[in-house]
Chains A and B, each alone.
Chain A
Amino acid sequence: MDNGKYYPLGEKVAIRSAFGPAFLELARDNRKLVVVTADLGGSLNLVKFGEEYPDRYFNCGVAETNMIGICAGLAITGYTPFAVTFGSFLGRTMDHVRQSVGHNRVNVKIVGSHGGVSNAPDGPSAHALEDLAMFRALPDIAVVVVADANQVPKAVAAAADHPTSVYLRLYREPLPVFTDETTPFEIGKANVMRAGTDVTVVACGPHVGLCLEVADEMTPERSIEVIDCHTVKPIDAPTIISSAGRTGAVVTVEDHSIYGGLGSAVAEVLAENRPTPMKRVGLTAFATSGKYAEVIDAAGIGKDDVKRAIAAVVAAKAEGARR
Chain B
Amino acid sequence: MSRSIEDLEEMARRIRVATVKELHASRSGHPGSSLSIVDMIAALYFGGFLKYDPRNPLWEERDLFLLSNGHAVPGLYACIALAGLFPVEELDGLRKFGTQLQGHAKRGSPPGIEISSGSLGQGLSVGIGIALGLKLEGKPNRVFVMMSDGEQQEGSTWEAIMFAPKHGLDNLVAIVDKNGNQINGPTSVIMPGLDPLAAKYEAFHWETTEINGNDMGEVVEALAQAATAKGPFAIISNTVTGKGVSYMEGDYHWHHGVITDELFATAMDDLGEPVPAR
A residues within 8 Å of B by Cβ? Answer: 34, 36, 55-56, 58, 60-61, 63, 65-66, 68-79, 81, 95-96, 98-100, 103-105
| Interface pairs (9), CB distance under 8 Å | A34-B136, A68-B125, A69-B126, A69-B129, A73-B130, A79-B136, A99-B118, A100-B115, A105-B107
- Residues facing A in B12-54 (CB within 8 A) are none
Which residues of chain A have C-beta atoms less than 8 A from B137's C-beta?
Answer: 77-78
Quick check: A96 and B156 within 8 Å, CB to CB? yes
Quick check: A63 and B129 within 8 Å, CB to CB? no
CA distance A66 to B204 in the complex (A): 16
CA distance A105 to B107 in the complex (A): 8
Give per-residue flags for B104-137: 1 if the beta carbon is below 8 A from chain A beta carbons, else 0: 0011000000111111011111111111111011
A99-B117, A103-B106, A105-B107 given; A71·B129 CB < 8 A: yes
Quick check: A70 and B122 within 8 Å, CB to CB? no
CA distance A168 to B26 in the complex (A): 42
Which residues of chain A have C-beta atoms less than 8 A from B118's C-beta?
Answer: 99
A62 vs chain B, min Cβ distance (A) = 9
Quick check: B133 and A79 within 8 Å, CB to CB? yes
A59 vs chain B, min Cβ distance (A) = 9
Quick check: A73 and B125 within 8 Å, CB to CB? yes
CA distance A34 to B114 in the complex (A): 22
Which residues of chain B have C-beta atoms less than 8 A from A73's C-beta?
Answer: 125-133
B residues within 8 Å of A by Cβ? Answer: 106-107, 114-119, 121-134, 136-137, 155-156, 159-160, 162-163, 167
CA distance A79 to B118 in the complex (A): 24
CA distance A81 to B126 in the complex (A): 12
A63-B162, A69-B160, A99-B116 given; A76·B136 CB < 8 A: no
A71 (CB) vs chain B CBs: closest residue: B129
Quick check: B124 and A69 within 8 Å, CB to CB? yes
B263 vs chain A, min Cβ distance (A) = 32
Quick check: B159 and A72 within 8 Å, CB to CB? no
Quick check: A104 and B116 within 8 Å, CB to CB? yes
Among A65, A70, A104, A105, chain B packs the most CB atoms within 10 A around the CB of: A70
Which residues of chain B have C-beta atoms less than 8 A from A95's C-beta?
Answer: 119, 122
Partner of B129, one of A61, A74, A98: A74
Quick check: A66 and B130 within 8 Å, CB to CB? no
B116 vs chain A, min Cβ distance (A) = 4
A319 vs chain B, min Cβ distance (A) = 49
Which residues of chain B have C-beta atoms less than 8 A from A103's C-beta?
Answer: 106-107, 116
A44 vs chain B, min Cβ distance (A) = 20
Quick check: A61 and B162 within 8 Å, CB to CB? yes
CA distance A66 to B125 in the complex (A): 5
Partner of B136, one of A56, A60, A71, A98: A56
A68-B125, A104-B116 given; A76·B159 CB < 8 A: no
Which residues of chain B have C-beta atoms less than 8 A from A100's C-beta?
Answer: 115-116, 122, 125-126
Which residues of chain B have C-beta atoms less than 8 A from A79's C-beta?
Answer: 133, 136
Quick check: A76 and B130 within 8 Å, CB to CB? yes
CA distance A95 to B156 in the complex (A): 11
Quick check: B125 and A96 within 8 Å, CB to CB? yes
A134 vs chain B, min Cβ distance (A) = 16
Which residues of chain A have C-beta atoms less than 8 A from B123's C-beta?
Answer: 69
Which residues of chain B have C-beta atoms less than 8 A from A65's C-beta?
Answer: 121-122, 125, 155-156, 159
A63-B162, A103-B107, A105-B107 given; A77·B119 CB < 8 A: no
B232 vs chain A, min Cβ distance (A) = 13
Quick check: B122 and A77 within 8 Å, CB to CB? no
A38 vs chain B, min Cβ distance (A) = 9
CA distance A99 to B106 in the complex (A): 10
B145 (CB) vs chain A CBs: closest residue: A73
Quick check: B133 and A66 within 8 Å, CB to CB? no
CA distance A5 to B117 in the complex (A): 42
Quick check: B163 and A70 within 8 Å, CB to CB? yes
B126 (CB) vs chain A CBs: closest residue: A73
B3 vs chain A, min Cβ distance (A) = 30
Known: A65-B122, A69-B160, A103-B107. 20 other contacts (CB 8 A): A55-B136, A61-B159, A65-B155, A66-B128, A69-B124, A69-B156, A70-B126, A70-B128, A73-B130, A74-B133, A76-B115, A76-B129, A77-B133, A79-B136, A95-B119, A95-B122, A96-B125, A99-B119, A100-B125, A103-B116
CA distance A74 to B134 in the complex (A): 8
A68 (CB) vs chain B CBs: closest residue: B125
Which residues of chain B have C-beta atoms less than 8 A from A34's C-beta?
Answer: 136
Quick check: B125 and A76 within 8 Å, CB to CB? no
Which residues of chain B have C-beta atoms less than 8 A from A61's C-beta?
Answer: 159, 162-163
A58 (CB) vs chain B CBs: closest residue: B132
CA distance A56 to B107 in the complex (A): 26
CA distance A72 to B130 in the complex (A): 8
